[in-house]
Amino acid sequence: MRGIKTQEALADPMANEGGFRVAEVERMATPTLLIDRERVAQNVAATIRLLGGDANRWRPHVKTAKLEYTMRMLVESGVLHFKCATTLELRVACEAGARDVLVAYPLIGANANRVREVAQQHPGVCISVLAESRAQIEQWSQSAIGVFLDVNPGMNRTGVQQELQDEIVALCGTISAAQASFRGLHYYDGHLSKFEFGERCAHAHKGYDRLMQIVEALSKGGIEVPEVITAGTPAFPCSLSYQAFGSAPFVHRISPGTVVYSDATSLQQLPADYGYLPAAVVMTRVVSHPAPGMLTCDAGHKTVSADSGVPTCAVLGHPELEPLTPSEEHLPMRVTEGHTPEIGELLFLVPRHVCPTVNNFDDAVIVDGGHAASVERVSARGRERPIRL
């Protein structure tokens, strides 16, 4: 993948020249989302291993998994705590067997009411939300819904700026005063993905130092923090290496979700010895030879998400193929050397960003032992109906 160091990471012994070993590929329409069950299981096991064998320390964001099928695999592996962003993801996670789900998104109005409805339908699941203001907190007064205070580590997407320690302490006090359940602090440092590994962890650790100071200030104010959540996929290694979390007076959980399937970006950002493999690929066919040294396949940006830029993907087993700017249904590629794949030939694409790519599909083919084992709905894609009449 030109501009991204992924080809070595993708050249693993489990991949043949075309990508996944699937006996039934010639019968499948393209583009098709393939999810390899064995690789998902390996990625889940690798994550738990990195957490010292304690699945309780992982709160994966299910915006990646998207399938109830995959969420059930996580539950069966002992992962019972989840994060999500939409009420549909919340509902599917509850139905998949989750015991604790944080809706890691600021909620107000009808969206908040829908969370209450889901909680009533699943009384055995501990459901929490984020808050960063008095109004957001007070809507959960005397509610069974828990509240995490959202701390902004510098990503400037949501949350209270981490430098505003007095405001954070005051808002946590407001949670108690409103007779709401204070669940802890949420600290998503996804913006650190722009840094190389060493610099990324240096920045992350400085932020964690400030986070620990906030916990100490809350404790001095008589407010104990039950849980602290940090780190999506890019900052995962940084949270692992921050020693103070190991002896902290709270439960520390990390929330990488991309690692469940892995993608071209995470293979670049995470150490190779973590053992992650691309578990979700898009199978596509060559449909045109528009010019010498060029081909086009049926995997445009409505198939493989382009939100992370161009190239949108890497081609398993074909480092000589350079994906170019896609249109809606077409993905042109430049052949930098050697033979040009024939029209009709199958290619297997590892998305640069797997989460929105999975969201592009209604169904996924589950591959198990080199065979298409089942077709599963991408049950948490999109959103719920906006109004119930």
The model's pLDDT over 262-296, given as tens digits with 9 standing for 90+, comes to 999 999 999 999 999 999 999 999 999 999 999 99
Give the tens place of pLDDT for each residue, 87-109: 999 999 999 999 999 999 999 99
Domain 7-35+267-377 and domain 38-260, same fold? Reply is no
What is the bridge-based pairing of β-strands 100-106 and 126-131? parallel
Note the CATH architecture for domain 7-35+267-377. Beta Barrel (2.40)
Whose CA is closest to 70, among 307, 374, 277? 374
Give the tens place of pLDDT for each residue, 16-53: 444 567 899 889 999 999 999 999 999 999 999 999 99
Give the integer Cα–Cα distance in Å for 59 and 66.
15
Secondary structure percentages of the chain, helix, strand, coil, to 5? 35, 25, 40
The arithmetic mean of pLDDT across residues 327-347, rounded, is 97
Secondary structure of residue 266 in the 3-state scheme: helix
Rounded to the nearest integer, the mean pLDDT of the chain is: 94
Q: What is the 3-state secondary structure (H, E, C) of 189-233?
A: CHHHHHCCHHHHHHHHHHHHHHHHHHHHHHHHCCCCCCEEEECCC
For helices 87-95 and 110-121, what crossing angle results, to 10°? 10
- CATH classification code of 38-260: 3.20.20.10
Give the tens place of pLDDT for each residue, 228-272: 999 999 999 999 999 999 999 999 999 999 999 999 999 999 999
Give the integer Cα–Cα distance in Å for 37 and 370.
10
In this structure, what are the phi and psi dihedrals at residue 270, rounded to the nearest 5 degrees?
-100, 150
CA angle 173, 178, 181 (to 5 degrees): 80
Q: What are the residue ranges spanned by the domains of the chain?
A: 7-35+267-377, 38-260
Whether residue 6 is predicted with pLDDT greater than 80 in this model: the reply is: no
Structure confidence at residue 164 as a pLDDT band (50, 70, 90) = very high
Give the integer Cα–Cα distance in Å for 158 and 282.
32
Whether residue 3 is predicted with pLDDT greater than 50 in this model: the reply is: no
What pTM did the predictor assign?
0.94
CA angle 349, 38, 51 (to 5 degrees): 100
Give the tens place of pLDDT for each residue, 207-229: 999 999 999 999 999 999 999 99
pLDDT of residue 388: 78
User: Worst-scoring range by mean pLDDT, 89-93, 96-100, 111-115, 192-196?
Assistant: 192-196
Question: Are 259 and 293 spatial neighbours (Cβ–Cβ below 8 Å)?
Answer: no
pLDDT of residue 19: 53
Helix (H) or strand (E) holding 286: strand 280-288
In sequence order, the 6+-apart residues with CB closer than 8 A to the CB of 38 are 368, 369
The pair of structure tokens assigned to 68 is 């109830």
From the CB of residue 274, how many other CB atoms can be counted at a distance below 10 Å?
Answer: 18
Give the integer Cα–Cα distance in Å for 304 and 355.
10
pLDDT of residue 88: 98
**Alpha-carbon torsion (235, 239, 242, 248), positive or negative:** positive
Whether residue 127 is predicted with pLDDT greater than 60 in this model: the reply is: yes
